[in-house]
Structure 1
Amino acid sequence: MEKTGVSAEQIERVSQMEAALVRLNDAIATVEDALDTYEQMWDDYRALDSYYSGKAWWEDLDADNQGLLPEDLPRGVLSEDAAYDALGNAEALRERLKETAQSAQ
């Protein structure tokens, strides 16, 4: 049975809004997953910040400079730039999230 009284414009509108609903729900799920990761990230941030700003980092750097650490030990954390940049990037991300939340209101 053919339905009457519905315009092509209405059908197109419903189709567009259905697509918008699907995209919105997908985006929400993606952002929620990312926020879960972001929240967990701060434990690593605090640990790295404490390590990098404390005595242990200097002791480990000195041991590396003396060749005392195993050659196959990954040691990117002993690069001043790597730790500094990661901590700075985390802070920049925090600021971006604040700005994004404020602009969404």
Structure 2
Amino acid sequence: MDTKHISEMEAILDEANEILDTLEQNLNRLNDIQAKIQKLENYYTSKQWIDDFTADEQGLLPQDLKRGVLSEDGISSMLERNKDYMEKIIQR
């Protein structure tokens, strides 16, 4: 008896389960971080962010300071992606 198809289906089952397990973990993580994302959005729309952005533009921040949060595109893109994913989750 040829069992090649059983092995092929087993591989598909294993791959699907792995992806679904990872997806479930990441959906839980995404849900858990929503309060922190809201905190980041509040910062991004605050006077503090403007002050920090201005200080960076003036070269007043340490050169070795990681400052991706001062990139308008960085935060804006992440917030938009988060919104899109959360809407997709709610729609399902």
TM-score range, shorter chain: 0.7 to 0.9
Provide TM-score, normalisation by structure 2. Answer: 0.75
User: For residue 70 of structure 1, what is the amino acid of its counterpart?
Assistant: P
Q: Which moved further from structure 2: 29-38 or 88-97?
A: 29-38
1:40 equivalent among 16, 32, 46: 32
Gaps of 5+ in 1: 1-7, 9-14
Shift of 1:81: 0.8
Larger radius of gyration: 1
Partner of 2:49: 57
2:74 equivalent among 62, 82, 85: 82
1:65 to 1:24, Cα distance in 2 relative to 1, 3 A:
closer
Distance 2:49 2:34 in 1: 19
Partner of 1:91: helix, strand, or coil? helix
- CA deviations on 1:12-44 (whole Å, 9 max, x unpaired) are xxx59x947766654543332112211122122
Count of residues in Structure 1 that have an aligned counterpart in Structure 2: 89
User: For residue 28 of structure 2, what is the amino acid of its counterpart?
Assistant: D
Distance 1:77 1:44 in 2: 13
Shift of 1:69: 0.5
